[in-house]
Structure 1
Amino acid sequence: MGRRSPYPEKFRNDAVALYRAADGKRTYAAVAADVGVTGETLRSWVRQADEHAGRARGEVPGENRDEELIRLRADLSRLRKAEKGVAAGARDPAPGSGLFRCGDEDMTRRWNFISTHRAEFGTQRTCRILQVSRSGFYRWLAAAPARAERQAAEDLLLAEIREVHAAHKGTYGVRRVHAELRGFGHTVNRKRVERLMRRNGIEGRHLRRRKRTTVPDRLAPPAPDLVQRAFSARELDEKWCGDITYVQVGGSWLYLACVIDICSRRVLGWSMASHMRAELVIDALKMAVAARGGSVTGMIFHADRGAQYTSAAFAQVCAAFGIRRSMGRVGSSYDNALAESFRQGLKRETMHQRVFSTVRQSRLEIFQWLTYYNARRRHSALNYLSPAEFEQQHQKERRLTLAA
């Protein structure tokens, strides 16, 4: 009998679905790096899933026709609402708006006209009629090569900005795009990136209104607040925090519970279900403990006073692992600000102006975003490193300190 896997079955199934969604465009090693396992481990999970389903190796399961049709219709509706000028009844910009504002382009048009017609009408006469100086025109003419070189550099930078923005599914704003370019070795000013993005209509995503998920149990005894809004830690596994968020799937809801390491901002555990019972947060906590090797005695876990976190079942699981529970006040989002910030980023970057049509689609895209968040998404609180990069750097520095 083989050794039991330390990874939950739902996690393994989501990892297999993530590999299959790549449709052969990503290797086992590439997908496994995002998930946090080895390529051979992911390969064995895919093989086991194929054997369990009775399929030949390499066959990729797809959506049935009804699910695909529903998804495509939902995407089309979202695009019509989101894209400017595409929605029915879209009008032209009003006169006097920023689109028609006069500026340096007026002088540029004059210089271009003079340059085009000076052989026919003469430079002096054309400059006099257009009320510009000849010396200004000749200075503009002499600077033409430098302008062309500068414009070529702008076009190249804009292409790289678009590539970064598209690679992160349109979620990155100015600061993260700038950090990504700097990470690639480019020495570029943030204000220049901001100007190009604003001029070309490139922007990150913004959050919409949210649904209430924290329902406190007035009768359950609360735990003390051991964090006191100090969402920082010197070491990994010193403090964790957690929260519940929701995803709309057709006319129903899918709930997601996450556990985050406050030091590295890494999502250690998560669980998705169609209910908000205590098992939802217990499964996420157990996954986080397994990700850290099973030994987390003395660690602080901070959450809000939702009924799931104040339940006796959750308290028993925390006691079994030696975890110290901590809770903020009722109705104060600042008392769990880190988890709130993570939830906003998740909703902004995965659920922006959209409704998932199937549970399978929502699970796959959320799992994909969580692995992307841990492995590649740059975090402002980590000096624009990803959580995985930060943990590697933190552990390396700690080993050097111990060696010294």
Structure 2
Amino acid sequence: MIFEFIEKNRDQFSIKRLCLFFGVSRSGFYAWLTRPISLHRQQDEVLKGAIIELHQGYRRAYGAPRVHQALRQQGLPCSRRRVNRLMRTLEIKASTTGLYVWRPGQHAFYSSAGNQLKGSEAPSGCGQQWAGDFTYLKTRTGWLYHAAIIDLFSRKVVGWSFSSRRNSELTKSALRMALLNEMPEQGCLFHSDQGIEYAAHEYRELLEKAGMVRSMSRKGNPLDNAVMESYFHTLKAELVHKRLFDTKVQAVSEIIHYMMFYNSERLHSSLGYQSPEEYEKLSA
């Protein structure tokens, strides 16, 4: 940890001064720089990747205890303390931590939304039902968040956004884009999970101003938003899992290019093997 601090701050202070301050030798510091990555660190990187997949795969709900058990079940033995440390390094935690503490009016907000999508008739045209969600994307320069909105009639991606941070601005940007590009019907249903990114008052105001009706998945039931789950699964299977992006800018560029292909060319079995844009034209 000391050597890592020296390395990060070598441009601000002289190496000699930093080594004297921490009581380490300069030869020891330079030896550390050229030392190969230890087996322990290599295992940490493997565990980090697995932790991210598990955390996302279970709707960002699992904390360290359950992630620890899931890793063991996948044949990745490690201690809970190690999992705690790696999750802190990745800055991820259980979705309930700090997000669902009691606040006046928040319980009423969730209760009033409910799952309006469940049991409703399938949409007969564009702009009647939308769904939104977001996911994590790995790059060599850090993790990137990608939010998307899909029209449930044509399965077309109508809005998207990217950010280095997970917050309501990420989801609001995707919604603003969708509202600029499309003309949803008055009373269009908007379905999402119960994440704080969709529960923010600013997000609620955007939906109400657009004349949309809120709908939220039941807690712990990701299949309530199956279309979004399917889209992110397809995106990762066909593009993301095949490579590691060098930068976040590259990731954004290639994913946008993929979404253009997804909307205009990719054949969907649920649409009779037509692309979303073709399906919309034939249904007009």
Q: How does 1:102-121 map to 2 (within 5 A)?
A: none
Deviation at 1:326, TM superposition (A): 0.2
- Alpha carbons 1:289, 1:296 under 8 Å: kept: no
- Measure, in 1, the Cα distance between the counterparts of 2:55 and 2:124: 34
Match of 2:130 in 1: 240
Aligned pair in 2 of structure 1 residues 386, 303: CA closer, same or farther (>3 Å)?
same
- Measure, in 2, the Cα distance between the counterparts of 1:231 and 1:331: 23
- Alpha carbons 1:246, 1:255 under 8 Å: kept: yes
Specify the code of the residue in structure 2 equivalent to 1:252. Answer: G
For the pair 1:363 / 2:252, whether they are aligned, the reply is yes
Deviation at 1:251, TM superposition (A): 5.0
Specify the code of the residue in structure 2 equivalent to 1:253. Answer: W
Specify the code of the residue in structure 1 equivalent to 2:232. Answer: R
Match of 2:238 in 1: 349
- Measure, in 1, the Cα distance between the counterparts of 2:54 and 2:263: 24
Deviation at 1:381, TM superposition (A): 0.5
Aligned pair in 2 of structure 1 residues 392, 210: CA closer, same or farther (>3 Å)?
farther
Match of 2:179 in 1: 289
Match of 2:282 in 1: 393
Deviations 1:103-128 (A, max 9, x none): xxxxxxxxxxxxxxxxxxxxxxxxxx
- Measure, in 2, the Cα distance between the counterparts of 1:280 and 1:232: 28
Deviations 1:123-153 (A, max 9, x none): xxxxxxxxxxxxxxxxxxxxxxxxxxxxxxx
- From the CA coordinates, give the structure whose radius of gyration is larger: 1
Match of 1:275 in 2: 165
Specify the code of the residue in structure 2 equivalent to 1:345. Answer: T
Say which SS state the counterpart of residue 309 (structure 1) adopts. Answer: helix
- Measure, in 2, the Cα distance between the counterparts of 1:229 and 1:351: 33
Match of 1:250 in 2: 140
Deviation at 1:241, TM superposition (A): 0.3
Deviation at 1:297, TM superposition (A): 2.3
- Alpha carbons 1:229, 1:336 under 8 Å: kept: no
- Alpha carbons 1:229, 1:334 under 8 Å: kept: no
Specify the code of the residue in structure 1 equivalent to 2:231. Answer: F
Question: Could you list the runs of 5+ residues in structure 1 that have no partner in the other structure?
Answer: 1-207, 396-404
- Alpha carbons 2:141, 2:247 under 8 Å: kept: no
For the pair 1:226 / 2:100, whether they are aligned, the reply is no
Calculate the TM-score normalised by the size of structure 1: 0.44
Deviation at 1:334, TM superposition (A): 1.1
- Alpha carbons 1:229, 1:335 under 8 Å: kept: no
- Measure, in 2, the Cα distance between the counterparts of 1:258 and 1:286: 11
For the pair 1:309 / 2:198, whether they are aligned, the reply is yes
Deviation at 1:296, TM superposition (A): 3.8
Match of 1:48 in 2: none
Say which SS state the counterpart of residue 390 (structure 1) adopts. Answer: helix
Question: Could you list the runs of 5+ residues in structure 2 that have no partner in the other structure?
Answer: 1-51, 61-94
Aligned pair in 2 of structure 1 residues 333, 275: CA closer, same or farther (>3 Å)?
same
Match of 1:107 in 2: none
Match of residue 151, structure 2, among 261, 266, 270: 261
Question: Which range is displaced more, 253-262 or 212-221?
Answer: 212-221
Deviation at 1:209, TM superposition (A): 4.3
Calculate the TM-score normalised by the size of structure 2: 0.62
- Alpha carbons 1:235, 1:263 under 8 Å: kept: yes
* RMSD of aligned alpha carbons: 1.9
Match of 1:299 in 2: 188
- Measure, in 2, the Cα distance between the counterparts of 1:281 and 1:238: 19
Match of residue 221, structure 2, among 314, 317, 332: 332
Deviation at 1:235, TM superposition (A): 1.6
Deviation at 1:368, TM superposition (A): 0.5
Deviation at 1:279, TM superposition (A): 0.8
Deviation at 1:224, TM superposition (A): 1.1
Deviations 1:278-318 (A, max 9, x none): 0111110111111114x542111000011101111111111
Say which SS state the counterpart of residue 136 (structure 2) adopts. Answer: strand
Match of 1:320 in 2: 209
Specify the code of the residue in structure 1 equivalent to 2:163. Answer: A
Percent sequence identity is 34
Q: Give aligned pairs, total.
A: 187
Deviation at 1:354, TM superposition (A): 2.5
- Alpha carbons 1:240, 1:299 under 8 Å: kept: yes
Say which SS state the counterpart of residue 259 (structure 1) adopts. Answer: strand
- Measure, in 2, the Cα distance between the counterparts of 1:229 and 1:373: 28
- Alpha carbons 2:142, 2:248 under 8 Å: kept: no
Match of residue 264, structure 2, among 364, 375, 383: 375
